[in-house]
Amino acid sequence: MHVHRIAAFTRNGHGGNPAGVVLADALPDTAEMQALAAKVGYSETAFAARNENGSWRVRYFAPESEVPFCGHATIALGAVLARTYGAGTYSLELNDAAISVEGFERAGEMRSELSSPATRSEPVAPGLVAEALELFGYRQADLDTNLPVRRAHAGADHLVVPLNSRSTLAGLDYDLDEGRRFMLKHGFVTVAFVFRETERLFHARNAFASGGVLEDPATGAAAAAFAGMLRDLEILTPGEIVIIQGEDMGRPSCIEAAFSGEAGSSIKVSGASTAIV
C-alpha cells in the first residue's frame, strides 16, 4: 500500500501535523491497518476506500489504537483526494458519523475544509479536574476562570482545559504512561489545553497519550469540539476562531474553525497542507 505523507494545518508552508493517507480499492483488515499506522509512526494514518455510492469509507489509526475521527488526517485526506481526483467536496463515512471534506488549491497552496460531526459538551466533576491538573503539573490557580473546563465532543471526546497565560501553557509536561491511563480511564482521546489571547485567537497544546503520542502539533478534532463548545455555551457568536498550535514543539500550525449559531451543528475546520518529501 502506498502511504501519502502530508503535513496538515501548516503555517506559512511550515510546521503542521504529519499524517499518513492510504487510498485503497478496499480497506485492509483492522490488524493490517493498525500495524501500518504503527510503522508509519504519525499520530494518525487515514485509510480510505471508495464506496459504490461514490462516498469514501474512512478509518483512522494512531500508532497504538483506532480513533473514531481525526481532523488533521481528514485535512490531509482532502488534499490527497483533490490532487488525485480533482478539487471538490468528498463525502466520508466514518465509524460513527457521516462528514465531508473539500480539497482545493488557493494561491498555490493546497487547502482543505472539513465539516465535523455534531458537537456537544458537558461539565466534568471537580475531582476529575483536580486529577488532570496534578497529572499535567498545573494548579487550580493556573485555570482561566472566564472559560469552563468541559468534556467536549465533535466525533470524539476531548477534555478542554483553559489556562490563564501563554507561559503557563508552555509549561505543559507529563508522563506518557500516566497520561494514557488517565485518558483511557475517562474516555478522552486528547486533553486540550488552551489559552485565549484575544476574543477569537487561541493557542493550544494537545496531549494524545491515548494513541501513544505525547503531544500533537495540530488537532483538528479537538479544535472542532472546542469551537462547538464555545458556540453551544454562547461564549462566542457565529463566526470563526483561529487556533495556533505546535509552537512549543517547533512545528507551528494554524487551524481555522468556523461555525453557525445552531447549537450542536457541524463545525467547518480548515487549513493548509504540504506534502512531506
Residue 1 is predicted with a pLDDT of: 87
What does DSSP say about strands 88-93 and 213-216: parallel, antiparallel, or unpaired? unpaired
Domains of the chain: residue spans and CATH: 4-115 (3.10.310.10), 120-269 (3.10.310.10)
Interatomic CA distance for residues 28 and 234, integer angstroms: 43
Cell of 210: 491515548
Residue 157 is predicted with a pLDDT of: 97
Would you give the DSSP letter of residue 140? Answer: G
Residue 139 is predicted with a pLDDT of: 97
Residue 11 is predicted with a pLDDT of: 95
Interatomic CA distance for residues 76 and 27, integer angstroms: 18
Q: CA separation (Å) from 181 to 114, 126, 252?
A: 30, 19, 28
List average pLDDT for each run of 10 residues in the chain, which is 277 residues long. Answer: 97 95 97 98 97 97 95 98 97 96 93 97 98 97 98 97 98 97 97 98 97 95 98 97 97 98 97 94
CA dihedral 107, 109, 110, 111 (to 10 degrees): -70
